[in-house]
Amino acid sequence: MVAAIAANVTVNLKFKHLSDAFPFIGAAVWVTILVCVPVRKPEWKLLPEAFKGSIFLLSLVTIASMMPVEKLPAASWETTLSLGFISAVFDNIPLTALALKQGGYDWGMLAYAVGFGGSMIWFGSSAGVALSNIYPEAKSVWQWLRYSRHVAVGYVIGFLVLLAILGWHPHEKHKGLPAAASVAPSVMPASAVAVVPPRTELS
């Protein structure tokens, strides 16, 4: 975790232009795992079973990133609430990226929606996929309807409580400097010109 955070911060602060060219965070995690092998030996025998879950999760992310969606509905608390339910089925990473690009969302409410909402069903999160490999009964739709339907109710109640206490505070899309401010004025304003009294000849 420390290596992942350090790689993320370093790349975004120092080498942002290279952030899309190489999976720096994943590489940092793998390097850390390999370096720590002498200290704590990984359970390599669990890798084959975990590999199937990883392929499944990777397939979900790939399919979600291929969605023909270029724009979300207008930002509002209702849209944000619905994104939570959508995140339970589709990966929340592309949805969050679209929201960041579009702007106008309350980022705190959005984080709650895609985080909580994305974990309402087992394949909505990495942890859910990992747990379902250990407990296959988690993949049963009937078992979810029988024992976990209250999760969706809790999500809605929690969202409405946050909305009532904190309110809706949308953030605008990040923009560059206005064109007028980025272009240096070619003519100095009259108010900035110092008035110089005329010289007088001494006789």
Q: Please give the model's pTM, rounded to 2 decimal places.
A: 0.60
Rg (CA), the chain: 26
Tens-digit pLDDT profile for residues 42-95:
777 777 777 777 787 777 667 666 666 667 888 899 999 999 998 888 777 778
Q: How much is the average pLDDT of 179-203?
A: 42
Domain assignment of residue 129, yes or no: yes
Judge whether residue 12 has pLDDT over 70. yes
Judge whether residue 176 has pLDDT over 60. no
Tens-digit pLDDT profile for residues 96-151:
878 888 888 998 999 999 989 888 887 767 777 777 777 888 788 888 888 888 88
Query: Which stretch of DSSP H or E encloses residue 10?
Result: helix 2-14
Which structural domain, as residue segments, surrounds residue 98? Answer: 71-174
Instruction: Report pLDDT for 173.
Output: 65
Residue 137 dihedral angles phi and psi, to the nearest 5°: -65, -15
Cα 96 to chain centroid distance, Å, stands at: 5
Which of 27-36, 120-129, 156-165 is predicted least confidently? Answer: 120-129
Please, which residues have CB within 8 angstroms of residue 64's CB and are 6 or more apart in sequence?
90, 91, 93, 94, 95
Instruction: Report pLDDT for 193.
Output: 41
Residue 138 dihedral angles phi and psi, to the nearest 5°: -65, -20
Domain assignment of residue 131, yes or no: yes
Domain assignment of residue 46, yes or no: no
Instruction: Report pLDDT for 180.
Output: 41
Which of 29-43, 93-107, 141-155, 174-188 is predicted least confidently? Answer: 174-188
How many structural domains are present in the chain? 1
Domain assignment of residue 106, yes or no: yes
Domain assignment of residue 170, yes or no: yes
Q: What is the DSSP string of 93-104?
A: HHHHHHHHHH--
Instruction: Report pLDDT for 201.
Output: 47
Judge whether residue 183 has pLDDT over 60. no
Domain assignment of residue 165, yes or no: yes
Which comes out higher in pLDDT, residue 175 or 192?
175
**Whole-angstrom Cα distance, residue 54 to residue 47?**
10
